[in-house]
Structure 1
Amino acid sequence: PAAAGDRSYEDAREYLTRFVGVGEKVADCVLLFSLGYLEAVPLDTWIRSAIADHYPDCDRGSYAETSRAIRERLGGEYAGYAQTYLFYYLRAGGE
């Protein structure tokens, strides 16, 4: 996975998904929490619910396109920070 650190975000995610058992969400988690790609937004159940409820225009069907749209909406290069706060807010009972 360290070899992913020298790539652009999209290339790094594609590289990580080559590993057996690593899908796009897990790759985004590794990129955000381990490799410092602050634009990564893992799309789990909580974030997908937030998209459906608050950002329906960002739901593009596929993981990659929805991820791209919500990244742009949440601040681009720092979208991972925004996603982390949004995740916590929802888990803590926010509406």
Structure 2
Amino acid sequence: MRLYWTMPDELRIHYKNVLQKYNEEFTKGNLSVAWRHLERAHILGQPWPREHNYVHWLMLKFGIHIKDKKEIIGQIPRLLIGGIKVSLRRTAS
């Protein structure tokens, strides 16, 4: 069994690009577009614990910013167990 901790460089470029677009749209106040970029970053980062948890952290901050209790409450357990879940899933591969 092999554990993968590092996102491949070819994919990291796209991941960082999507996060940059998120930041740009969030700063402009285009929250629905910003959220779509976070969702894309989540998909790209999902197999890697660090990237996956970072996107959930951003989603939590986003939920706080828009004062969405459901989003806030939903992100907390994902942050607490998401990285562990991803690590275990990747180890079993």
TM exceeds 0.5?
no
Larger C-alpha radius of gyration, 1 or 2? 2
More helix by share: 2
**Higher RCO, 1 vs 2 (CA within 8 Å, ≥6 residues apart):** 2
TM-score (norm 2): 0.30
TM-score (norm 1): 0.30
